Amino acid sequence: MDSVTDDFIIPQDWSSYSAVDHATWDRLFARQQAMLPGRVVPAFLKGLDVLRLSKPGIPDFAELSDRLMHATGWQVVAVPGLVPDDVFYEHLANRRFVAGRTIRRPDQLDYLEEPDVFHDVFGHVPLLTDPVFADYMQAYGEGGRRAASLGAIDKLARLYWYTVEFGLIRDGDATRIFGAGIVSSRSESVFALDDPSPNRIAFDLKRVMRTRYRIDDYQQTYFVIDSFDDLLRQTLDADFGPIYAELDAAEDLDVDRILPGDRLLTRGTQRHARARTAR
Ligand code: PHE
Ligand code: FE
């Protein structure tokens, strides 16, 4: 991935954003900033601060990367949308986070077909200022190359989904959100913590890698890590090769399945999902 043509990186072209684009960012930012204290892991709020993300308007990736580079050696680069898995892994392994440059329309504040710059930057980048989380993301990229060579991308992708996108974390006696898909969504930042519908289960690596996920609605199960240290240790120390082989023989688990061995923090009513299906 050394050549400049196959890395999918494009200029952010910050000066081409309209006043409406910047105003959309500001509205989304204000909504989440009001919502998150007490719900999100403290490291996220610290990241907003370190990166000066409260400055109005869509962040300029060059400026953002300067601050992030200083904090943990990561950069943010613009790409045209979703990129191939191998490109994505290669960037992560080199501490480059790929982000979309476009922002949703003002009439779509809560509705997203594809990640936009608000999800990618507000959702993902603040935690990259946390040294342990930053190392986890790099390790994930390296793990991705390996998973690709072992035909196990689907299993590794579930780990990303249930941690980086939709993860919950213990904070003393409380549970907080940290996944980017949650922290960038006004309604899911409430649902994931407070709604009686979803299961909340203590993180277990193999269990997570067996669990399907849904991309069209709130999750029916969230997994709760103890700490970023614990997540990094569990994933870095484990040799995923034998785990992938073992899981090939195991059945995939449905999104609402509860196993006898699960450390269940909340047994969900699944009311939300049932109401959806019944429509
Ligand atoms: N330890 C994993 C492997 O052997 C790599 C990895 C680390 C994957 C951290 C994800 C997160 O493949
Ligand atoms: Fe994302």
pLDDT in tens, 242-259: 999 999 999 999 999 999
Residue 4 CA, ligand 2 centroid: distance in Å = 24
What is the phi-psi region of residue 77: left when phi exceeds 0, alpha when psi lies from -120 to 50, beta otherwise? Answer: beta
Is the pLDDT at 277 greater than 80? The verdict is no
Q: Does the structure show a pLDDT above 80 at 39?
A: yes
Q: Residue 178 domain-assigned?
A: yes
pLDDT of 4 above 60: no
**Across-strand partners of 223?**
201
Work out the average pLDDT over 62-91. Answer: 97
Reference 12, options 68, 105, 79; nearest CA is: 79
**So what's the pLDDT on residue 279?**
58
Name the residue at shortest CA distance from atom 10 of ligand 1: 140
The residue ranking higher by pLDDT, 254 or 2, is: 254
Task: Report the C-alpha gap between 214 and 6 in whole angstroms.
Answer: 30
**Domains held by the chain: number:** 1
Verify whether ligand 1 is closer than 6 Å to residue 145 (CB atom): no
Q: Find the mean pLDDT for residues 36-52.
A: 98
Can you give the pLDDT at residue 111?
Answer: 78
The predicted pLDDT at position 114 comes to 86
The verdict on ipTM greater than 0.85 is yes
* Residue 182 CA to ligand 2 centre (angstroms): 10
The CATH number of the domain holding residue 99 is 1.10.800.10
> Residue 242 domain-assigned?
yes
And the tokens for 193?
A: 């913590």
User: So what's the pLDDT on residue 19?
Assistant: 98
Ligand 1 pocket, residue 236 CB under 6 Å: yes
Of the candidates 277, 225, 220, the one whose C-alpha atom is nearest the C-alpha of residue 253 is 220
In 82-187, alpha helices (H): 85-93, 117, 131-149, 153-160, 180-183
If you write DSSP's letter for every residue of 40-94 in order, what string do you get?
B-HHHHHHHHHTTTTSSSSPPHHHHHHHHHHHHS-EEEEESS---HHHHHHHHHT
- State the Cα–Cα distance between residues 252 and 155, nearest whole angstrom: 10
Give the domain extent around 19.
Answer: 14-278
pLDDT at 159: 98
Asked, for residue 153, whether it belongs to a domain, the answer is yes
